[in-house]
Structure 1
Amino acid sequence: MTAADLRPVHLKCEHRVDPLGIDERSPRLSWALASEKRAEVQSAYRVLVAGGEEDLAAETNLLWDSGRIKSGRSLGVEYGGEALRSGARCVWNVRVWDGEGGASSPSEPAVFEMGLLERSGWEGGWISAGEGPAGDMEPPTGDEYDALGNGLAPSPYLRREFGLEKSVRRARLYATARGLYEISINGARVGDDVLAPGWTDYRKRIQYQTYDVTDLLREGPNALGAILGDGWYAGFVGFDPKRAGAHYGTRPQLLAQLDVEYEDGATESVATDGSWRSSTGPILFSDLLAGESYDARKEMPGWNEPGFEDAGWHGVGVEPLGDVPLVAQPDEGVRATEEVAAQAVAEPEGGVHVFDMGQNMVGWARLKVRGEAGTAVRMRFAEALNPDGTIYTENLRSARQTDTYVLKGEDEEVYEPRFTSHGFHYVEVTGYPGEPPLDAVVGRVVHSATPPSGSFECSSPMVNRLQSNIVWGQRGNFLSIPTDCPQRDERLGWTGDAQIFVRTASLNMDVAAFFAKWMDDVEDAQSPDGAFTDVVPLLEGSGLINLSRGAPAWGDAGIIVPWTIYKTYGDTRIVRKHYDAMTRWMSYLHEANPDLLRRNKLGNNYGDWLSPEGDATPKDLLATAYWAHDAKLVAEMSRAIGREGAGYESLFENIKDAFNRAYVTPDGRVGADTQTGYVVALHMGLLPEELRAKAAGHLVRAIEAKDWHLSTGFVGVGYLCPVLTEAGYPDVAYRLLNNETYPSWGYTIKNGATTIWERWDGWTEENGFQSPNMNSFNHYSLGSVGEWLYRYVAGLDMDPETAGYGRIVIRPRPGGGLAHARAEYDSVRGRIASAWSVEGDRFELGIDIPPNTTATVYVPAEGGAGISEGGKPVERAEGVKVLKMEEKQGVLAVGSGRYEFVGRVAR
């Protein structure tokens, strides 16, 4: 057997690297491939799974041996071995064979571990703080207590001591909360998750986390400690904020279980039960919207270590486990991923210091301070400044975004909150003893830890800033769910925002697991008659109108998001899992609109939200277009999972006919002659072929009528530049990209944007700030142009007839005055890169194509000029096939590898 250069790398289970605690009983295994050779393919694979590294290396006592499978498949290979039990640790590797039959060495081992698969595996119950005050701690009063006009209670502190009399081989901690929790063992914090367990509809599903805590335990006495926060469960959530059970529950509770395996094979569990003790401590209150108040004088040194005197503590309330499903967290969770140093500090008023972080972000600030005991330092967080240099907070509405720290009076003190988050560019500090140094405040960036997967850069500093703004907006708004804003009293999972941005999101970061989690939330919120909702998770009693009826372009997220995840990651399980929910949605729409025009107002209809033209685009036109789009996507997903899709193909054609009769004129004019009307008609394939060019011309005329500016809102903005480019007007798309006058991306950047604004006119030179009723400076919807930067400017794309980047398209569209552009993307099959530059009429294109894929490459060849690769005529280049040579470009087919092409563009 010959050795292969081809080798498997980047092993994943359920879209994640070495996940700890999963509850998929047939977990899916995937890998990418690497090779220094061109045109490498996988012809076969063999997966081995064992209970430990030694057994895997020796290929003995295997849980599963797939055998040698003749297949090029490397995505979503389902485990097919013996049934996996709760807590089972599985070590696996894969060997592959190349196209000539050469075998690789086994990959480096990867790991996945099962969580608690049976409800009977949970031994304890939900515990909460006992009744009455503890020790000398008194509840907060006055302004601190009455945040948002409602009472906020101190955070409960919970503890339990236990003994271990033998040496520990292995220990796992399973933990969750109704609310938020932070847990420790022997004084050491467990894990790096924050705001755990994340947001779900706690009435339908609660996530738990799994931690390897073997190294934290010791023979003899040990102690478990936990602190709880109200979080989404019992705190203020959404606009028209309520608490005290208005949404989910009235007080936070903990559920935890420590499973210990001794070296001699014996096992023991420590669970949340009536033996725990409770108190309150230095956290006077902690709320996602209000912020946190912390009195360091109330700290209890050693409270979470063995031997602490807890006679003044109280018992706990205990509730049964209940019937709500407990599920293993399927994504990466929320973490603090970066620190940002303050760039400047000013004093607009006496004793008021404003720190400029240089970047709008989400998370909190770490405070460093020295002073006398009892000194209260207050931090308020804001995205913008008033003209006088004070912080602008009107757009926060009722969200206070305020953290208060009371010093204990020791040497240097360091504080950061636990159970809150803020959206901010500026931190106002008052009460600081003396003059605060620049490093008194450090920003802590917090978001769902979706791994970075892509990057884009070009020769335009403004466009690079736009890409940075898009990524920062994604980081700030992907916090357990895809939220709509991170600062004001809302922070809801608006479905329209998510579907508009999901493709851009998937290029910037690996969001497969993140959206798999959120699609479970989407189905949890679906109404009994099939409607997907406007916000997910659903908050009943939140003051939002008709949220059981999904609005056009919002409810359609229930189709568009799983389709995008399927296309991007080759994930058919998300389609199978939610297929029935999708078909219920389609039936719901059809029953309400038998004439195939989506005119029945089933709930909200936001139209092209926040378009500078207002409601100029007919709402029923947009609604009908989205319904047709849904039908097309469901038809494709049906075929992908072996279901009958012909009915949905027919539905698409019938809606298309109805759309044309109702909204399209014989000369290709659409609806009210708006940019967004043309964009959705063209993007969603709703026009007859003979009218597409005419409609595109009308679109360009509509842009010219706005002095070559866009007028699209949330719905149209992401499709605008791709539609123009596909229709042969890349110069118009670039003109919109490069604009720096209102409305444009460049205008926001010129006026200080470091994230994407909610609205084009969030601040204008003529009018200042928009209405504080709705004016977020950290949204992501209008950043959906990021997809165009990757797919069209850099030219890194996927064949629309495939999924998971099995067939790649490299087709850059140089223009807009750019001298170069580059994108890299870590696809599920490996890294793809496209980098081009122009000097004079010389066009250079370097690409990387991962093994086991093919690519169609378009190289400019103006005037029929020849193309070279690696210094040779392309006809003689290894691994390159010329498909056709046209007047302005060559179309090439390549296998995997690194290629360097040279062509010609018009001067």
Structure 2
Amino acid sequence: MDLHAPFIRASAQYGTFAHPIPAPYLRRSFVCDTAAEATLQIGALGFYELFLNGERITKGAFAPYISNPNDIVYYDEYHVTLREGENVVGILLGNGFTNNQGGHIWDFDKADFRTAPQVSFALSYTDSEGTVQTIVSDEQFRTAPSPIVLDDYRFGEHYDARLEIPGWNLSGFDDSAWTPALPAPMPSGEARICEADPIIVNRELTPVSIVKEGDGYRYDFGENCAGVCRLTVKGEAGQKIDMRYGEELVDGALDQKSIWFVGEWTEHDWPLVHHDIYTCKGGKEETYTPTFTYHGFRYVVVTGITEEQATPSLLTYLVMHSDLSERGSFSCSDEMANTLMTLCRRSDLANFFYFPTDCPQREKNGWTGDAALSCEHMLLTLSPETSYREWTRNICKAQADCGSIPGIVPTGGWGSKWGNGPAWDCVLVNLPYFVWRYRGDLTIAKESAASILRYLHYLTTRTDKNGLIAIGLGDWCPPARGADDYKSPLVLTDTITAKDIADKSAALFYALDMPLQQKFAEELSAKLRAAVRKRLIDRSTMTAAGNCQTSQAMALFYGIFEPGEQSAAFDRLLALIDEQDGHMDTGILGGRVLFHVLTAFGRSDLAYHMITRTDFPSYGNWVARGATSLWEDFQPEGGTLTSHNHHFWGDISSWFIQSIAGIRMNPYAEDVNEAEIRPSFIPQLNNARGAHTAPAGEIVSAWERDGDTITLHLTFPEAMSGRIRLENGWMFKDGTCEKPAVTGDYTIVPVK
């Protein structure tokens, strides 16, 4: 079978909030002369739910994928069993990404791929005489409106149970009143089977409290995650139950303003923000779970119910995300750090729906910079590489002819004039680089090598007369200021990031045996570094332009200073931290590297203090103020907070594993089966344990303190090589400071 069966649809007209069109049912009945195994391929512009003889067989939520169909059209393949006699294929279609009714800010409503949902279907089996029979999407499929009267995957879903059609996907159903499906145009994108991890319901939450709010009831689930609520109710026919979702309470009531762009929407939009509506058919207990939407939330305010209906069993939180397995963990004697690890994991998963999203409640966009910042810690703690590979294909397709990358992928065209630049575009290199470094897999690098080279050439066209670059977004979201009110000059963060892109590209080209491309990348890196050193470094004080924590930390982390200059440059960083009374004062670019720089110079204790302290600004301050996920901003009490669920600050989970537990995978970027164990025995902790499952097996580094003595418990795969290297001030009991990494227990004491 190939992926070119015709597309069909119920109508050419796509719905709007002002004039919604119900999600269509499609069905096709056919007769088999024998039971048979069959291969089924289905692709959709929009989302589909697939049924065979009444059984839902869809791989997961929001199938097949979220993409620009002008770039890639996604299909899923199933292997099913047909029964002798009548068989029925049933399909329910949702708007998905190709009819973004609430997409005004990112121009999705203007996208040239906007269309009513449509589907391509092919099923092949061998009959009793050995003849291959094929059923494809054509006018023999019949269609009717479903009870989903409005659906938008950002905003919500409206379902009227009175419109249900019992037995619509079963044999024996009379569909003579249904209308034939209409042929739909073939999309222009590359057709391919989706390989990304499916989206699943991982766990269920019950409410921790239910309180009266206005004319409804507020359900608090205790955690800010992503997913939907399953409604279970016995109501009256026509009873309309309204569910509004949100992350925070303001003055004791649910507040949605911080999670949407107030003032940017029409009168039809605002009442629909994070809003599901269910209309009861009445008579007996009913269960409803939204199909084509999800929300980021902790709280749900339910109106339209009676006091008797406001029970804990009314709503169950179905927590959803891509089906990623756990690969790394950290715990220690300080509950603050343990809580922060939980918040990192929660936000990482809540923001992974096929690809990393910036937030699950507002945009649900694949912001490239967010993913570039988080990919290392996600690879340390989760298994995203298969989904990264699929998304990288979309990133490469979205690349402009000049080499630039839009700030969001997929996009309908928005994000090429604003919202990108090196610190965001580096996702093109960071994903294949870190997948190669942590998993030893060069597949993504091979597939994206041409795009990486094109991007490097693009950078050479964007340098100014001084060899510097300043074309994109900078050190986003600094504390207590506007998102773009950063201290570090854009010319510094862009040029240093461009240098890092060239460095990582050179490493990938070396691994791919592409010497000419490697040389080009190395020469570009050298030119960019030289330009920064000449124009943006004060050699008399070893201070990077901007005179701030981000500038100094980035210059140190990315190798701008010579070895003989680094001590003075680090002292300047310490002074800048001291000027802020030991607080962090960076946006996301500086925050990604600051704590690793402190560890590199033996100050993990200071990094830990900055992370876990509870006064503003700090991660610990978020926890002290009730955070259950990572916030987008470091704002003081009373400041304007936007998203309460972002993953781009989550690299502290990587820092905990790499610096406190000391698990440094592939430290020289040469061998995925090599690791260095270099823990930090900081005075704030009595014990710590980190783990990471490498391709060769699980590494566990756990240490505990007994007075002045440290016992290190190490589990290290036999197929791996590496060293245990102790930080200054510590030695093994035999007086050495370094040993081969081998499973066992090690006694470590202070250097006398």
Tell whether the structures are fold-level matches, with TM greater than 0.5.
yes
Q: Does 1:605 align with 2:473?
A: yes
For residue 652 of structure 2, the aligned residue among 759, 775, 785 is 785
Given the superposition, is the C-alpha separation of residues 695 and 422 from structure 1 closer, same or farther in structure 2, using an over 3 Å criterion? same
| Correspondence list, 1:257-656, <5 A | 257-262=122-127, 265-319=130-184, 321-349=186-214, 351-397=215-261, 398=270, 400-435=273-308, 436-488=310-362, 490-540=363-413, 542=414, 544=415, 546-547=417-418, 550-593=420-463, 595=465, 597-599=467-469, 601=471, 604-612=472-480, 614-644=485-515, 645-656=518-529
Given the superposition, is the C-alpha separation of residues 480 and 620 from structure 1 closer, same or farther in structure 2, using an over 3 Å criterion? same
Within 2, Cα distance between the matches of 1:413 and 1:343?
Answer: 23
Amino acid in structure 1 at the alignment position of 2:359: C
Q: Does 1:128 align with 2:9?
A: yes
Within 2, Cα distance between the matches of 1:596 and 1:487?
Answer: 42
Within 1, Cα distance between the matches of 2:116 and 2:289?
Answer: 23
C-alpha displacement of 1:146: 6.8
Q: Does 1:901 align with 2:746?
A: yes
For residue 256 of structure 1, the aligned residue among 110, 116, 121 is 121
Tell me the SS of whatever aligns to 2:676. strand
Tell me the SS of whatever aligns to 1:233. coil
| Correspondence list, 1:5-404, <5 A | 116=1, 121-122=2-3, 124-130=5-11, 147=17, 150-168=18-36, 170-214=37-81, 217-236=82-101, 238=103, 240=105, 246-262=111-127, 265-319=130-184, 321-349=186-214, 351-397=215-261, 398=270, 400-404=273-277
C-alpha displacement of 1:322: 4.9
Within 2, Cα distance between the matches of 1:394 and 1:811?
Answer: 42
C-alpha displacement of 1:893: 1.1
Within 2, Cα distance between the matches of 1:470 and 1:550?
Answer: 25
Q: What is the aligned partner in structure 1 of residue 267 from structure 2?
A: none
Within 1, Cα distance between the matches of 2:4 and 2:674?
Answer: 49
Given the superposition, is the C-alpha separation of residues 473 and 565 from structure 1 closer, same or farther in structure 2, using an over 3 Å criterion? same
Within 1, Cα distance between the matches of 2:210 and 2:634?
Answer: 29
Q: Runs ≥4 in structure 1, deviation > 6 angstroms?
A: none
Q: Percent identity?
A: 28
Within 1, Cα distance between the matches of 2:448 and 2:425?
Answer: 14
Within 1, Cα distance between the matches of 2:28 and 2:108?
Answer: 29
C-alpha displacement of 1:836: 1.1
Contact 2:237 2:283 in 1 (8 A): yes
Give RMSD over aligned pairs: 2.2
Gaps of 5+ in 1: 1-115, 133-138, 140-144, 868-884
Within 2, Cα distance between the matches of 1:380 and 1:814?
Answer: 47
Q: TM-score, normalized by length of structure 2?
A: 0.94
Tell me the SS of whatever aligns to 1:240. coil
Tell me the alpha carbon deviations over residues 618-659 of structure 1, each in whole angstroms, 9 at most, x when there is no partner.
110111101111121111111101111233223322321221
Within 1, Cα distance between the matches of 2:128 and 2:593?
Answer: 60
C-alpha displacement of 1:591: 2.3
Contact 1:247 1:539 in 2 (8 A): yes
Given the superposition, is the C-alpha separation of residues 317 and 669 from structure 1 closer, same or farther in structure 2, using an over 3 Å criterion? same
Amino acid in structure 2 at the alignment position of 1:616: K
Q: What is the aligned partner in structure 2 of residue 843 from structure 1?
A: 710
Contact 1:364 1:416 in 2 (8 A): yes
C-alpha displacement of 1:237: 5.3
Contact 2:33 2:128 in 1 (8 A): no
Within 1, Cα distance between the matches of 2:658 and 2:321?
Answer: 26
Within 1, Cα distance between the matches of 2:52 and 2:542?
Answer: 68
Q: What is the number of equivalent residue pairs in this alignment?
A: 736
Contact 2:480 2:639 in 1 (8 A): no
Given the superposition, is the C-alpha separation of residues 493 and 702 from structure 1 closer, same or farther in structure 2, using an over 3 Å criterion? same
Within 2, Cα distance between the matches of 1:522 and 1:611?
Answer: 30
Given the superposition, is the C-alpha separation of residues 579 and 865 from structure 1 closer, same or farther in structure 2, using an over 3 Å criterion? closer
Tell me the SS of whatever aligns to 2:425. coil
Q: TM-score, normalized by length of structure 1?
A: 0.78
Gaps of 5+ in 2: 262-269
C-alpha displacement of 1:209: 1.1
C-alpha displacement of 1:734: 1.5
Within 2, Cα distance between the matches of 1:231 and 1:588?
Answer: 33
Tell me the alpha carbon deviations over residues 563-602 of structure 1, each in whole angstroms, 9 at most, x when there is no partner.
111111111121121111111111111122164633353x
C-alpha displacement of 1:905: 4.1
Tell me the SS of whatever aligns to 2:178. coil
Within 2, Cα distance between the matches of 1:821 and 1:248?
Answer: 51
Given the superposition, is the C-alpha separation of residues 322 and 240 from structure 1 closer, same or farther in structure 2, using an over 3 Å criterion? closer
Given the superposition, is the C-alpha separation of residues 723 and 204 from structure 1 closer, same or farther in structure 2, using an over 3 Å criterion? same
